[in-house]
Amino acid sequence: MIKSLYIHIPFCDDICGYCDFVRVGYNDKLSDLYLVELRKDLLSLSTQYKTIYLGGGTPSSLSVQQFSFLLESMNHLVGLVDEFTIEVNPDSLTIEKAKLYQQAGINRVSLGVQTTNNQLLKKIGRTHTFEDVKKSIELLKFVGISNISMDLIYGLPTQKLDDLESDLNKLLSLSPTHLSLYSLTIEPNSQFSRAGIKEVSSELETEMYLLIQEKLIKHGFIHYEISNYCLLGYESIHNLSYWKYDDYLGIGVGASSKVNHRRFTNHHNIND
């Protein structure tokens, strides 16, 4: 029985230079059309899932009206859900959206921080600031969502070991329950690749990785998966289903599934 559902929302207000996921600039008309097609797939499902993950792209780029339409389309799937996650960018979260997420039963947020250095955020194409990150966490906790994971990228252009240590200290000061830390990879179809940006040396990447290990474990985090650390009891149930080789279903453009030992991926062209 498939217990995990992934839903891909490909829209982004801005395209980050390092990103190679299936994504497209947000457009309200295109988003409406996509959600209508997504609704057909969602209504064809009858299983009630234990974990649901809304990823992207940037799911929080959808308007309150659009997200309400998405929720209505999948309302029959959430009755037994234990973990309901949404990916959020700090600059697209509002109090109205946060309230809607909580009312919908979303109990876990993955917040795209990437770095706490405002100058570096601009260099990599992010439009939020660290102040926006702090405001987002305040909003989420205000509406009752306290299980907050944060994404961080290390090995960014011009980033030094001291910069990473500053990032880690600032994130830890926000009391996250979960941290996902990824070394920058220059993907072939990303803006970084086209601009000729190179990855940091393997020596610096190793130093950064060891710093992450030392600091997070010292602060009580468990290294339970290659890129993921959490406080005890805050492991991502959805992610662990992948690692345990459980079956899962992916809905939407570019989404992947695994059913009966067969893995398959939906086409990447949103117009199709």
151-161 confidence digits (pLDDT tens): 999 998 889 99
The pLDDT tens digits of the residues spanning 159-183 come to 999 999 999 999 999 999 999 999 9
The verdict on residue 122 lying in a domain is: yes
Closest CA to 207 of 178, 165, 166, 167: 165
Using pLDDT thresholds of 50, 70 and 90, give the confidence band for residue 1.
confident
Using pLDDT thresholds of 50, 70 and 90, give the confidence band for residue 89.
very high
Using pLDDT thresholds of 50, 70 and 90, give the confidence band for residue 272.
confident
Cα separation of 18 and 159, whole Å?
15
Domain that holds residue 154: 4-265
User: Six-digit token pair at 67?
Assistant: 């997200």
The verdict on residue 39 lying in a domain is: yes
Give the chain's domain count.
1
The verdict on residue 271 lying in a domain is: no
The verdict on residue 239 lying in a domain is: yes
Please report, for residues 96, 112, 177, 251, the alpha-carbon distance to residue 174 in angstroms, rounded to integers and kept in the order given: 22, 14, 9, 33
Instruction: Return the residue matching tokens 């029959």.
Output: 76
The verdict on residue 53 lying in a domain is: yes
Exposed, middle or buried: residue 163 (CB in 10 Å: 0-12, 13-18, 19+)? middle
The verdict on residue 71 lying in a domain is: yes
Cα separation of 100 and 253, whole Å?
24
Q: What is the CATH number of the domain that holds 8?
A: 3.20.20.70
**pLDDT given for residue 262 in this prediction:** 96
pTM of the model: 0.93
The pLDDT tens digits of the residues spanning 228-240 come to 999 999 999 999 9
Cα separation of 191 and 181, whole Å?
21
